Amino acid sequence: MSGSNLNKKILVCSILVIAMLLLMPSIPAIQQKTIKEEIKQDLKEKLETINLNYIEEIEDLEWIRHPILFLMYIIAVFRGIRGFGIMFISSEYVPELELVVLKITHPILFLRGAWLAVSASVWIGFWFALSQKYGWNW
């Protein structure tokens, strides 16, 4: 019988401990207010230390106003260069009479290059139109 009394005491004590933990706040209100004030003070100090000359240096990068847009442009240019390079490798110019004719030696590779070049131009056109629509001055 002493085992069941011990189990009851353990059960009652554990229920009381859980109830106290649930009712007691983890951070008292005073500490929470102090933390908020410290954060505000840190922000004020950081804002005071900003040098206006640094902001003027940032304005020198006017041509790269939107870095993601610039990255899309670089990707598209690289894709276009790759496409024209593949087209150049997979074909040759053959002189016939007075004309120079393009002879495609590797048609599948040529189509891949054409696809890359055309999709790059469409990609650049899309981003340019989007930039014009939203006034990103690209």
List pLDDT tens digits, range 20-67: 666 666 656 666 677 778 877 877 777 777 666 665 555 555 556 677
Give the pLDDT confidence score for residue 41 in this predicted structure: 81
Residue 125 lies in a domain: yes
Distance between CA 80 and CA 115 in Å, rounded? 9
Nearest to 137 by CA among 69, 85, 76: 69
pLDDT higher than threshold 60 for residue 102: yes
Specify whether 70 is located in the same domain as 123.
yes
Specify whether 67 is located in the same domain as 44.
no
Distance between CA 134 and CA 121 in Å, rounded? 20
Specify whether 67 is located in the same domain as 128.
yes
* Boundaries of domain holding 128: 61-134
Give the pLDDT confidence score for residue 131 in this predicted structure: 82
Specify whether 125 is located in the same domain as 100.
yes
pLDDT higher than threshold 80 for residue 84: yes
Model's pTM, two decimal places? 0.49
Quote the DSSP letter at residue 32: H
The count of structural domains within the chain is 2
For 26, the token pair is 């983890």
Residue 119 lies in a domain: yes
